[in-house]
Structure 1
């Protein structure tokens, strides 16, 4: 069996945990070629370097370190201080994850100085936060807090919402580690409220997970489970697999405390499945260690040994120190359970040295106790006594800290109990209110039943009446349908007949117009020729009305502006020179056929009058025609030209001119309107009448 575990370890060692899957690695390699190609622009190369670093620093620390160094070296040669600041951030993170704390400190401080020099606020806030995280990892919590508060203040001053939220979360986590649970809870709740206001949903899973950690510390297990579950929900909603893995792992750890080992194992396996699918190797190592602990508590040392061997191999190959001490302790306990004293002693020794470096009291306590027992079993009483003394020392230190924390826990538990009591009172009141509302609802329900029965009876009566009227109406409708069919057929025949009549009228007018034209051509007398020509044009104007009706299929109304344009084209276009201007103004205006035809005759006479009397041969000609609806039913027609105007004592009511007599007659008798003339700037005529 031991050989099997050695072979498993050898397999993972030879594969070296290629943490980036092949598809992503190909993309990273492709970007790296872009980055190192001097033919590409600086901006393109910077983006390529950034991509390589960003895709590796969180999953493959060694590769992340290599790409971050290259990114920073190239960024320093450019003038892009934003990219340079981001490169410092990536490199510092990679160095910190690999335990290169001195190098990380130097890198991050240099990056902060560079950001301050360039007055780059995002970089200042981010790198202060990085230095805070570094000092927290080194156990300098007060200095870490100072850096995080600098990040917080800077973010608040320059409205950097993401960095502000991140700083609040980091501060809350440090307070939690210090046992300042009240301050930690207040900080996290403030951060939660800030994220809610600013719609920073991405941080909520992390905050709820941290609140769950505090609840677990003060033994408020139900509240802890509620917060961890909320963290899981937010992680799923945002498709944040890393946070989902963390929160599921925390739920597993909670159920170990509650001794619900089967539930804990289920959560760990769920987290491990996601971590394996997403190739999150760091998380895999931590979860496998927790699964090993769970199997150990269930006395399944075979499964426990399998998982812890894989976990430790991952930790060591990835050079991860975080939680490695705990994995060594679990391995030592498993071997101790299997009475393999030598292996147990080796792992206690490893845990002891690792904890000594980072001053991890809990691990030092467990490791010294384990070493004391293994030395005793080996017969080395001198070292056994030595480690027993160390165990007592560390135990006393932890007990002193635990006593202080117990006081804080009791205070917080009392706060939670008071809150729970208030919640209980509120729930009792809510239940009473619900009972009252239920009783009222029951009464309303009975009343509704009576109303429903009455309504059903009334409805039946109504349905019977409707049925009777339906069949009666159906009979009537059948008779009406037959009559309507006959009416529609007659109407269709009438429309066809009317269309044919207008078509024939138009054709007859065309014939008359042609006859007049031919007669005028064969007549030598000028007066007769002019009379025949005028008559032809009047016939053409009348013909246009019938043509419009025939084309549009509307025998009730026509668009007078379109009709006017046709008359202008008929009469004025033949005499128009490039300098002349003949315009019809207004929007679409539909009028009764008779009124439209009357206006057409009037316009024809006015244009004919202008052509004969208004201009000399060399004059620039100008005619403006307007027709519009000015009131609910009032139509205004206006005609102006720039000619010589009417004679001084001209009176349209008493004139002997046939054309102007026709204009006056059509305006007052057929249109029943008012007519006005004006000689201010040429000739102007205005007619106002009511539309039919």
Structure 2
């Protein structure tokens, strides 16, 4: 994480704008179509076609189609069946890039059925293309069948459904499934992967209309992709730079749409316009729907801001999509535009188009289809669960058979011992003693369990009372504040109140948790920040706070010092870091556990520490308190003073 912060600051200072947009990586070399033609074999041409990121920069898709059709005709004339297959695969991909998904899927399906199975790469390539086409055509049943076939052929271990859930409107389910499937394989050092992961989660939340939460994930994604593009130590190919710029464009478009969802239209404009520029980079013809969405979002933002000329400029653009929801949205916005211009004739015309399209979509039929398809997806999951359940039943049957065999052996031994009275008496005695011991053990276990339950209840009651007592102390400080006229005394009392509240919040979290030994830090810090904001937040300031402590749990001996440290740092940031009204600030909090210890980091981009801060530390109670708390955690406080803001960090045991 230190590396991330350093590279971001370094990039901002030096302004690597050209690298971020991929301009330096686009060499004015041989056009892609000419390079394709110069390849020696059909297989090399296919590999080149799939690898080149900007194949449509110098030549259109139609020029590529003419070239590939000519190659295909030559292969047919020469009777080269292998070359015919290769060129047909390229043509199917071209139809997908053109947006003719039905034709692309049909040709890929025919190729797959006629394909020689000796080379597994071609079937895998075709199934991936068929899967994407069915997804674009919203034929989810067929898409599920293709994914089952991929699993049967060993191309994928599991069938993933999060994209289908999202298309069905089950956005929360899609997000949960995506996190479950992807997070376990995340590489924390791969910034591109982290950007893509956070962007996906943000998209699910945005589709669920949780704009504020989605924005925090989009901002994380933006930070990661900027770091990735500006990392001069990481050697990147042209394809990787192109891919990263497309992701950057998608992220910025999502940030703009999140702003629009929150009615922040002016803030949305630069992100949406930048996104359109990146998504229209050479070779990005396949991103039409994202371009269409962002174009309509820009039209809506300008309309809301009263700039009708710019709004009409974007509304008149060809969206190059036949998605009913996007075309319907365009008609609705056109109707609103003409309504604002008092052109009621055109307003009525577009309203009628909008209503006709809405009727043709057939909402009721769509809802029924969603329920049916959701059931299909659930059945697929149930089949997987049944498979596991059957395996468990087999293991239980095996165990039962072994137990029955063991019982049979015991019975045989018992029958043989019946003939010996002494042996029978000894066996009966041993059996009775065993029963008695089991009863004694069961009774002791019950007593221990009851004691543990009682202990948990008492501990929760103790934490509850401690919290109440601390709240009473806070109330007393509030009363004292009202009876005090000294400004310095009032500030000291308010600071004391926040410290007491930070400790009270720890005890509140403890008695609310099932596990009384640890505090879940992400939720605790969010509650603490809300408490501090209610006291210190100033009007006219926009301060974004990013908290990265998910999954971190600490015991009370470490949670209380860290809570008090955060209380001091956040309070200082609100009071001193952003003195000018209207300043936009960022506060970043990061906590991670590493084995038995952990790492704490806090930074803001405010005005930073004053030049005489080292002298002031001796008279500042806050800094002295922070240092003592850090010492209590068996560590030393480190302070980095940058041109913008300040950063505090330490390792703790």
Q: Highest relative contact order (Cα 8 Å, sep 6+), 1 or 2?
A: 2
* Greater fraction of residues in helix: 1
* TM-score (normalizing by structure 1): 0.46
The TM-score with structure 2 as length reference comes to 0.48
Larger of the two Rg values belongs to structure: 1
